[in-house]
Structure 1
Amino acid sequence: MPTLDDALGAIEESRDLDGLYAAFGALSSQLGFASFSYIDIRELRAGDGLPFYQTSVRADFARTYEDEGFILHDPVFARAAATNTPFLWTDLPDFAATARGTKPRRVLEAAYDHGYTQGYVLPVHALDAAGRPASSLISMYWTQQPEELAAGTPRWLRLAALAYHERALALRGVRDGLTPPPPLTGRERDCLLWACRGKTIAETAIILNISDRTAKFHVENAMQKPGVHTKPHAIAMAVHLGLIAP
């Protein structure tokens, strides 16, 4: 049985996306999964084609999934976008027996038809190389008895999934020539910190002994650098990156 150190070591040592895919595929196999998919759920918009993905599922299942347009009806994407908690396919109401005949239910039935008895989904959220929020999921495909899945899945797998996501984002950033946003200055961090704590521009100016105009300037810069358009978004990114603590 692999350990978390084994998994993280293989992921961190990957020098390209193919190597990363191979490393996680080996981990998936060692844990008893038949295959896995990594899918960028930011790009799942009708009419925009397929998002970035890596998958080791059976070729016939992949063809069925694409030919049937299941990507527009698969409920795992909405669930993964709204949670950090791993879940099973059968945790979703859209996959319940009462949903027979619906398009989401058909996604699960197609998986069954191709030998997949259960799936384990790991939502992963981070920032890409340009500092933008990036959400993906890793779906692990099981072909053994469904009840054996939960008992054999290590708790650290979600950490390995997040490491995979962060490494994939970094490697895609290098491939696409993306660069991280300019760092925030100390004063910009200070202004965001007090905004995070509920202070207005005027109150922040008093606390920092600067003018209202200067406080507003620093907040606007802190929004402009990562390319966001609202103060709450800038605050959220700064907290996520560890630049400020609420």
Structure 2
Amino acid sequence: MAPLWRATDEQSWFDALAVLGKRCGFDQTLFAVIPRPGMRFSDVYLRSDYASAWRDTYDERAFVRIDPTVSHCMTQTAPLIWSSSLFTDRGQQEMYEEARRHGLCTGISLPIHGPKQEVGMLCFVCGDQSARELDNQVRRYLPMLTLLRDVAFDTAQRFVASHTASLIPKLTPREYECLQWTAQGKSTWEIAKIFGCSEATVNFHMANIRTKFGVSSRSAAAVKATRMGLIDPD
């Protein structure tokens, strides 16, 4: 585990993680974390050495919405050992066949649930391996893999924090106040009275807020800001 602690940059950190996975007999590695509750799957912090063609296909076809390994890790804490039998309905079977063509045949997914309500997964995957071989491999290495999951999450915090910061819109103090009052149910007229300004000024700030959050309404901006932890409606 020491290489993870010693890593000075993101690439060397992930390379160390992948090497540790290979020492346990796995071919490929994926580490993914959704940093805050309510953030979208597209906002995930993700590093892997999966084939780029597979990652592109996965994103283009929105496989995240039917991926049983993802749904497991979002709601469970126990490791999931998976093979072709896990993918049951037609969509999942098509997804598995596509994954298999890119060398993802069997593996183990370890859920991540952080102290700040982060959710994610650490996955180690094999190419051509029987379910029995995988089971024997996991039995041998599961304690180490579980510890590796925890160390990986701890040592990735600086990278996840940097990624999260890049997703959060930069608000002016007045925009922040407008958003806070909006989350508490105040109207434009009420906010203008609180600030001692015109409703047009409040609307100007709210238009900037909507643009920064990429939404069409002030309520949507307030919901998004709350989910990101920027404001507390209470």
TM-score relative to the length of structure 2: 0.61
CA deviation after TM superposition for structure 1 residue 149, in Å: 1.6
**What is the CA deviation profile of residues 56-79 of structure 1, one whole-angstrom value per residue up to 9, with x for unaligned ones?**
012222222122221222121221
- Deviation (angstroms), 1:170: 3.5
The match for 1:140 among 107, 110, 124 is 124
Q: In 2, are the aligned partners of 1:11 and 1:23 still within 8 Å (CA)?
A: yes
Deviation at 1:161, TM superposition (A): 1.0
Q: Give 2:12's aligned residue.
A: 19
Cα offset, 1:168, TM superposition: 0.8
Compute the displacement of 1:108 (Å): 1.6
Where 1:66 maps in the other structure, the secondary structure is: helix
Q: 3-state SS of the aligned residue for 2:73? A: helix
Residue 64 in structure 1 maps to residue 57 in structure 2: yes
Which residue number in structure 2 is paired with residue 35 of structure 1? Answer: 28
Query: Is the CA contact (8 Å cut-off) linking 1:43 and 1:52 kept in structure 2?
Result: no
Letter in 2 for 1:156: M
> How far is the alpha carbon of 1:54 from its aligned partner?
0.1
What residue in structure 2 maps to residue 117 of structure 1? 105
* Residue in structure 2 matching 1:87, options 80, 90, 105: 80
Identity %: 17
- The amino acid across from 1:139 in the alignment is C
Letter in 1 for 2:45: F
1:164 shift after superposition = 0.2
Deviation at 1:22, TM superposition (A): 0.9
Contact 2:79/2:111 (8 A) holds in 1: yes
Cα RMSD of the aligned pairs, angstroms, is 3.3
Question: Which residue number corresponds to residue 168 of structure 1?
Answer: 156
The verdict on how the C-alpha distance between 1:117 and 1:91 changes in structure 2, with shifts beyond 3 A counting, is: closer
**Residue in structure 2 matched with residue 151 of structure 1 by the alignment:** 136
Q: Which amino acid aligns with 1:121?
A: S
CA distance in 2, matches of 1:141, 1:66: 19
CA distance in 2, matches of 1:48, 1:120: 20
Q: Letter of the aligned partner of 2:94 in structure 1?
A: R
SS in 2 for 1:164: helix
CA distance in 2: counterparts of 1:91 and 1:84, whole angstroms: 21
Query: Residues 66 and 90 from structure 1, CA distance in 2 versus in 1: closer, same or farther, beyond 3 angstroms?
Result: same
8 Å contact kept, 2:106–2:126:
yes
Paired residues of 2:35 and 2:160 also in contact (CA < 8 A): no
Contact 2:36 2:118 in 1 (8 A): no
- Residue 42 of structure 2 aligns to a residue whose secondary structure is coil
Q: How many residues align?
A: 168
Residues 92 and 81 of structure 1: CA distance in aligned 2, closer, same or farther (over 3 Å): farther
Partner of 2:118, secondary structure, is strand
Contact kept in structure 2, 1:121 and 1:138, CA below 8 Å? yes
CA contact (8 A) 2:104 2:127 kept: yes
Q: Deviations over 1:170-213 (max 9, x none)?
A: 443367679xxxxxxxxxxxxxxxxxxxxxxxxxxxxxxxxxxx
**Stretches of structure 1 lacking an aligned partner (at least 5 in a row):** 1-7, 179-226, 231-246
